[in-house]
Structure 1
Amino acid sequence: MSLRPQNQKSLLTKSCLTWGLVLGALSVNGVVAQTSPVEFRQSFSLEDNAGEGLELVSESDLEAFESLNEAEDEKLLARPPVATVRAQLTRANRSARATKFSERTEAVMRLSQPANGAERDEGVFDGQTVQDRPVGIHMGSLRLLPSLDAGLGWTDNAEQVRGGTPDGFYGLDAAVAVISDWDRHALGVELRGSLRAFFDEPDNNQPVVTGLANLRLDLGGSTRADFEGGYSFSREQRASAENEVASGPTNSVQEIEGSFSLSRQVSVVQLRGGLGINRSVYDGQSSGSGQRDNTVFTSSLRASFDNGAMFEPYLEGGFLVRKYDHDCNGDPTCLDRTSGGYSVQAGLRVDRGPKLRGEFGVGWRAEYLDDARLDALQGLIFDGAFVWSPTRRDTVTMSGATSFNATNISGASGSILYAGDVRYARQITQDLVGDIQLGYTYRTYQGVDVVEQEASGSIGLVWAFAKDAAILSRYTFQAFDSSSAESDYTSSLVEAGLRIRR
């Protein structure tokens, strides 16, 4: 199924305008770059002689560049926890906070980090402005990193439904993170709350609360243990097939997750075993919202082969059990969606230093439901992400993920969501950064003829005008298409504000 012609035309127009603005900015910046004392890296190439054709720089140029790197390295110590690439991509039917470019870059770098916890190359531009880069407040062997974003905006479709009404809003995003400054091991905790509050209709407000924590224990030169936990609160979008609320606030969605993994390198083989738990709780006005409450238990084992080459193959497999809270209690009309299943995946991890890094895998996942009247929830899975850094001022991320989700739609076993996006960030100057994003999601429900698609694009600009402050601006366009009647819509949103962080 494809986007409707009117939505395609609108998205194409917005995308062409967006790319025109970006290309124009790059053309102007190309002139400025000719006089910059910082020498750019050669564009990505798989040739062995990466320095061929590059002009030599003067000693004064090298000293200026090295001093800039030293200043940046001192500030790059602060690394709060971030959600995984899959978590960032697969919250498609919820009013989640937009992922920042730096968060996506950090998540991809951690995804491709070796199992032995080796330090990675810091030569990738992460989309951050230099002057107000967070350094934190020292608290003994810990660092505190506070931040606050506040701004105003306007959208032509506050409800995010067909025929939605325009409305203005104010937005707040407050976060505090604590990270360790230890020689061994690592600890990170972040609490964040954001709110998009509309002036005319508060039922459309979008509150989001998240909490993340991780602990890495270095048990030896080739062994490490990782503990991770997370919590999120958000609301479902009105156009989602799961939403049953016609007026008033939509259902809330809470997720609580935790995982433990143990990694060890034996010769050229890296082994990682893990256990995980993910609980989802739905609450709202509809009587059936609680029927989706469920808990997923997972176990996995991954073997990767690191022989020092640029491409590192891996194999991964695991088992899962999904337990629903709702009990049929002998009701013959009730559908028991409790299930058990497995997943298998094979892929490659790519490590070409700061030029190109990431991994991508393809496999199969299946969940077999206890109720024989329901089809198995199964399908192709792909997961992975890459960071490509063609120059010191440009970074591109490419990400994809698959998610299997619960449902209470009659006759449906669940839904499978495929999500992917491409992002590009450009350091126009040290204190002026622009980025652009294009994304697409495809959700299909097993057992019923319901398909949802969404295409999105956004362009943003950040200017750091002081040591701890920056001005933010962003334009976002969305086009949603569903096989459910009267559910497709388009929306445009523009917002600007102030960011303060330490």
Structure 2
Amino acid sequence: MLGPVTGRRKRVTLLRAALPCLALITITSPLRAQILTPDLLRPVAGGFLLPQDSPLRKISENTTDNPADPDFDGQRRDKNQPAPSRIGNIPKYGLPAASGAADAGFDSLNRTRKQPKFYPGQAKPKPSPGPGTPAPAADKGSTNPNGRVRISPPPSMTANRPPMPPSMAGTLDGQPPRKPLPVDTDPFGAVGDYAGSFLIKSAVELRGGYDTNPGRTTTPQGSAFWVVAPEFLAVSNWDRHALVADLRGSFTGYGNSLPPLVDGAISSAPTNIDRPDFTGHIDGRVDVTDFTHITSELRLRVATDNPGSPNIAAGLAKYPVYATFGSTVGLDQQFNRLDVAAGATFDRTVYQDSTLTDGTIASNADRAFNQYGGVGRVSYELTPAIKPFVEAEADSRFHDQYIDNSGYARNSTGGYAKGGTSFEFSRLLTGEIAVGFAERNYADPRLGQLSGLLTSSSLIWTATPLTTAKFNSTTSIDETVLPGVSGVLTHTYTFEVDHDLRRWLTAVGKFTYGTYDYQGDGRSDKTYSVEGDLIYKMTRNLWITGTLRRDILDSNAPLASSASTVVMLGVRVQN
């Protein structure tokens, strides 16, 4: 019987008992013992086996088990050996932008990641030369020591270099394409400012000059004058509906007053010939559907009678001012290429009382009237460039004073009908032209029917990129206070040519011809106006203008003809 043993002797006894088992493994499985026994029994630092020395580890492309390989010793480096320092080594930049993104959608440079599909035999596009283009075979060795293509240049190649010019933006791989800028057809035109969803343009002109006959009298008397002319334009920028406000006005002041007597006769011109002029309208459109629109307009006209007009009474201290304001509400319906529009109109005209040179006041209530009417238009689009139309209008005028100061009842009914077309030929000739007939019948049987040919047109011909021709014509039936005269049939024709001598220097030539037919007493007036303007555009916001104009009034009435020469120099400030 064995005596008690200590703990140390017990461990030795167990080890000796395990040796036959190891021998049995060697006998029963020689291959297994050949693999495990040398590694398990080999004494190594820190344990029996290092993970990198295990013959069961995965052999990757970055490891080697060949002792002849130069990297073999590095792989079996002891774990206590420090890693090589990165100080002084140039980092490698080899990852393109969004390299870890998926292959659908867009990456951080807004490029699509979906690869295009090419048909068999279709040539694939070549990449543009740039940082991402593979280097030629002869240069690959110098581009990267590992033989890889450099995606982006190292910092040493781009340091302290000027930025890429805007004209080259979008020409390199990895950059979004650059959108072309629209062509600026008017490099010196007003740009305007946005207020919410409205584009607002404003301007003011200050002019001064000399008029040899501002009163348009038979015996001329000259006077210096000044003009202040503001302008305002606001246009909405909405997806649906529209609103446009266009307001233009002026005030002309003269340096001295005209004497009441000219060659012993009372002058037809007032002593104070200052006069205002304003034209404004606000147009709106409500898009009920894509083919149904509600249209409306508010308008205002403030002015005086034209100098030299027979409606101006003798002995006036100043021109009486009149105002015409009104509105139109209509409906525009499209049926494929057919467009039908109709609207109701209302206008009111009021006159200021006349102030005479002796201080008395003369009423002009007999010249105030209301006009109610309706207008309709039908057009058909033959082609996108030609759209013929037919338009008709009818109205009635009711004066505040049924019998005027001369004893005539001037209430009347009338209208017009015209046909024409709007066109656009290669964008060189655009506009509208129409011909028709107008007439008006008066309540007083002593006043005959007023009728005549109606012409209206607005044409713009772009002859060359530097030359533009414009032609406008209007026809109207105007009221008068002359005894026995039904009204005035007025035709006005204007022809204008604009030519750019330079982009900043424009010459303008204008010719205006007008006829005034006073039906009832046989009076007929003809007006001629020849005007030349020179515009020097210093900047978009500052223009300098010069004007020379000759006005001629030729009348068959005695002592009614006149002539005048106007010289002006001004400045225009716009935004």
TM superposition score normalised by structure 2: 0.62
1:357 pairs with 2:430:
yes
- Which residue matches 2:219? 163
> Residue 410 of structure 1: CA displacement?
0.7
1:285 pairs with 2:355:
yes
- Which residue matches 1:215? 284
AA partner of residue 303 (structure 2): S
> Residue 358 of structure 1: CA displacement?
1.6
- Does the CA-based 8 Å contact 1:434-1:460 persist in structure 2? yes
1:294 pairs with 2:406:
no
Percent identity of the aligned residues? 21
Q: Counterparts of 2:455 and 2:391 in 1: how far apart (Å)? A: 12
SS state of the match for residue 342, structure 1? Answer: strand
SS state of the match for residue 253, structure 2? Answer: strand
Q: How big is each residue's C-alpha offset from its partner over 1:332-384, in whole Å with a ceiling of 9 and x where there is no partner?
A: x8311111233221222222141111222222222221222221122221112
SS state of the match for residue 239, structure 2? Answer: coil
SS state of the match for residue 209, structure 2? Answer: strand
- Does the CA-based 8 Å contact 1:241-1:484 persist in structure 2? no
Q: Counterparts of 1:362 and 1:210 in 2: how far apart (Å)? A: 25
Q: Counterparts of 1:264 and 1:478 in 2: how far apart (Å)? A: 45
Q: Counterparts of 2:250 and 2:541 in 1: how far apart (Å)? A: 20
SS state of the match for residue 72, structure 1? Answer: coil
Going from structure 1 to structure 2, the CA distance change for 1:264 and 1:337 (only over 3 Å counts) comes to same
- Does the CA-based 8 Å contact 1:160-1:237 persist in structure 2? no
- Which residue matches 1:151? 207
- Which residue matches 1:411? 484
- Which residue matches 2:335? 266
> Residue 288 of structure 1: CA displacement?
5.9
Going from structure 1 to structure 2, the CA distance change for 1:318 and 1:175 (only over 3 Å counts) comes to closer
Q: How big is each residue's C-alpha offset from its partner over 1:314-333, in whole Å with a ceiling of 9 and x where there is no partner?
A: 2222321111111239x9x8
Q: Counterparts of 2:337 and 2:194 in 1: how far apart (Å)? A: 39
AA partner of residue 297 (structure 2): E
Q: Counterparts of 1:203 and 1:68 in 2: how far apart (Å)? A: 57
> Residue 69 of structure 1: CA displacement?
7.4
1:177 pairs with 2:233:
yes
- Which residue matches 2:447? 374
- Which residue matches 1:206? 275
SS state of the match for residue 70, structure 1? Answer: coil
SS state of the match for residue 374, structure 1? Answer: coil
Q: Counterparts of 1:224 and 1:408 in 2: how far apart (Å)? A: 41
SS state of the match for residue 220, structure 1? Answer: coil
Q: How big is each residue's C-alpha offset from its partner over 1:461-485, in whole Å with a ceiling of 9 and x where there is no partner?
A: 1111123111111111110012332
1:306 pairs with 2:371:
no
SS state of the match for residue 499, structure 1? Answer: strand
Q: Counterparts of 1:213 and 1:353 in 2: how far apart (Å)? A: 31
Going from structure 1 to structure 2, the CA distance change for 1:377 and 1:174 (only over 3 Å counts) comes to same
Q: Counterparts of 1:68 and 1:469 in 2: how far apart (Å)? A: 28
AA partner of residue 169 (structure 1): F
Of 52, 66, 70, the match for 2:182: 70
- Does the CA-based 8 Å contact 2:204-2:574 persist in structure 1? yes
> Residue 221 of structure 1: CA displacement?
2.5
Q: Which runs of 5+ in 2 are unaligned?
A: 1-166, 168-178, 258-270, 357-361
Q: Counterparts of 2:384 and 2:229 in 1: how far apart (Å)? A: 42
Question: Which protein is richer in strand relative to its size?
Answer: 1
Going from structure 1 to structure 2, the CA distance change for 1:353 and 1:265 (only over 3 Å counts) comes to farther
- Does the CA-based 8 Å contact 2:230-2:250 persist in structure 1? yes
Q: Counterparts of 2:469 and 2:449 in 1: how far apart (Å)? A: 37
CA RMSD of aligned residues (A): 2.4
- Does the CA-based 8 Å contact 1:162-1:487 persist in structure 2? yes
- Which residue matches 1:63? none
- Does the CA-based 8 Å contact 2:190-2:540 persist in structure 1? no
Going from structure 1 to structure 2, the CA distance change for 1:495 and 1:69 (only over 3 Å counts) comes to farther
Q: Counterparts of 1:190 and 1:158 in 2: how far apart (Å)? A: 28
- Which residue matches 1:21? none
Q: Counterparts of 1:421 and 1:366 in 2: how far apart (Å)? A: 23
Q: How big is each residue's C-alpha offset from its partner over 1:159-202, in whole Å with a ceiling of 9 and x where there is no partner?
A: 22121211212221123333222222221224443222111227
AA partner of residue 233 (structure 1): V
Q: Any residues of structure 2 matched to 1:461-476 within 5 Å, and which?
A: 461-476=534-549
> Residue 291 of structure 1: CA displacement?
1.6
Of 321, 325, 350, the match for 2:396: 321
Q: Over alpha carbons, which structure has the higher Rg?
A: 2
Going from structure 1 to structure 2, the CA distance change for 1:212 and 1:245 (only over 3 Å counts) comes to farther
Q: Which runs of 5+ in 1 are unaligned?
A: 1-59, 61-66, 74-128
Compare relative contact order (CA 8 Å, sep 6+) and give the higher one, 1 or 2.
1
Greater shift, 349-358 or 438-447, is seen at 349-358
Going from structure 1 to structure 2, the CA distance change for 1:356 and 1:467 (only over 3 Å counts) comes to closer
